């Protein structure tokens, strides 16, 4: 399983920075099931699936959107591989519950189906979606998510800009607010970083460090190559 902070980097094409990793990750798969529910900028499921299909064509993979199947649960159970893209996490989680596939998706991943999640699709890999950056545009039945990793993520994590005069809350401030009421650890995953989950290991990949937040503790920076399975 690959859990990535973002689907693209500034100036790059969709998924380009991950394609070499994805060649290996999906090497035994011909077709990838795409779940487009997060709908970035409100695009349709069809439009989103086409963007993803063009990206995966570069490594010889076909893509089918889950909306093209009559039975979503069966589509997930039969999938060779699964990709959940970014967009709005509230919308994504709502649709997974409305279609009654949150648990089905979790079981498929736990059973070994290769999975890629970017942005909102990475947010749902944690215990809850409560550390997303997204606006609550719709009310999900629950904040509980897949629980594939034993902590929460804050994808697109941004450090405070010491040169800025804009008095906006920082990501660190918001995560501290989360820890006023919750004990779940939170990993700030910066752009261009991802987690590779294999067996019991959860390894940070990419060139950057990640920032780990735990309740009532000073945040720590962990280097690329660190294993986060100690958070279990």
Kindly state the average pLDDT of the residues 6-25.
Answer: 85
Active site residue 193: no
- Catalytic annotation present for 134: yes
**Residues sharing a CB contact under 8 Å with residue 230, sequence separation 6 or more, in sequence order:** none
Average pLDDT, the chain: 92
CA dist 123 and 226 (Å) reads 19
Q: Which of 67, 156, 179, 193 is catalytic?
A: 156
Look at residue 124 and tell me whether its pLDDT is greater than 80. yes
- The residue from 5, 25, 67, 134 that is catalytic is 134
Domain coordinates of the chain in residue numbers? Answer: 2-231
pLDDT tens track for 152-170: 999 998 876 656 555 567 8
CATH architecture of residue range(s) 2-231: 3-Layer(aba) Sandwich (3.40)
User: Taking the model in full, what pTM does it have?
Assistant: 0.92
> Position of tokens 């060649």?
23
**Predicted pLDDT of residue 214:** 96
Could you tell me where the DSSP H helices lie in the chain?
19-25, 45-57, 72-78, 89-98, 102-110, 120-123, 171-178
- What does the pLDDT read at residue 167? 52
Beta strands in the chain (DSSP E): 2-4, 31-35, 62-65, 82-84, 115-118, 152-155, 186-189, 194-198, 201-205, 210-213, 220-222
Dump pLDDT digits (tens) for 35-53. Answer: 999 999 899 999 999 999 9
Alpha carbons 97 and 92: distance in angstroms, whole number: 9
189, 222 contact by CB (below 8 A): no
CA distance 120 to 202: 19
Q: Which of 11-15, 109-113, 130-134 has the lowest mean pLDDT?
A: 11-15
119, 122, 179, 193: the active-site residue: 119
Query: What span, in angstroms and rounded, lies between the C-alpha atoms of 172 and 2?
Result: 24
Alpha helices in 26-125 (DSSP H): 45-57, 72-78, 89-98, 102-110, 120-123
pLDDT tens digits for 53-112?
A: 999 999 999 999 999 999 999 999 999 999 999 999 999 999 999 999 999 999 999 999
What percent of the chain lies above the pLDDT cut of 70?
Answer: 95
3-state secondary structure of 166: coil
pLDDT, residue 164, reads 56
Q: Residue 31's closest CA among 69, 4, 71?
A: 69
Q: Distance between CA 69 and CA 84 in Å, rounded?
A: 16
Under DSSP, is residue 9 helix (H, G, I), strand (E, B) or coil? coil
């Amino acid at each position: 399983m690959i859990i990535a902070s973002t689907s693209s980097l500034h100036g790059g094409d969709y998924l380009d920075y991950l394609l070499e990793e994805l060649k290996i990750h999906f090497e035994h798969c011909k077709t990838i099931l795409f779940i487009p529910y997060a709908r970035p900028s409100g695009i349709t499921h069809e439009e989103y699936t086409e963007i993803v299909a063009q990206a995966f064509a570069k490594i010889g993979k076909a893509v089918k959107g889950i909306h093209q199947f009559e039975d979503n649960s069966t589509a997930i159970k039969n999938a060779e591989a699964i990709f959940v893209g970014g967009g709005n996490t509230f919308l994504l989680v709502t649709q997974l519950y409305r279609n009654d596939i949150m648990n089905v998706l979790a079981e498929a991943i736990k059973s070994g189906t290769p999975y890629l999640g970017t942005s909102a699709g990475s947010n749902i890999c944690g215990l809850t979606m409560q550390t997303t950056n997204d606006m609550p545009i719709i009310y999900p039945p629950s904040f509980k998510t897949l629980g594939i990793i034993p902590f929460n993520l804050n994808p697109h994590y941004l450090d405070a800009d010491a040169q800025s005069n804009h008095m906006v809350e920082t990501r660190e401030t918001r995560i501290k607010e989360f820890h006023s009421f919750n004990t779940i650890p939170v990993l700030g995953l910066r752009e261009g970083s991802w987690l590779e989950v294999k067996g019991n290991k959860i390894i940070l990949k990419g060139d950057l460090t990640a920032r780990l937040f735990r309740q009532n503790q000073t945040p720590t920076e962990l280097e690329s190559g660190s294993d986060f399975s100690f958070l279990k």
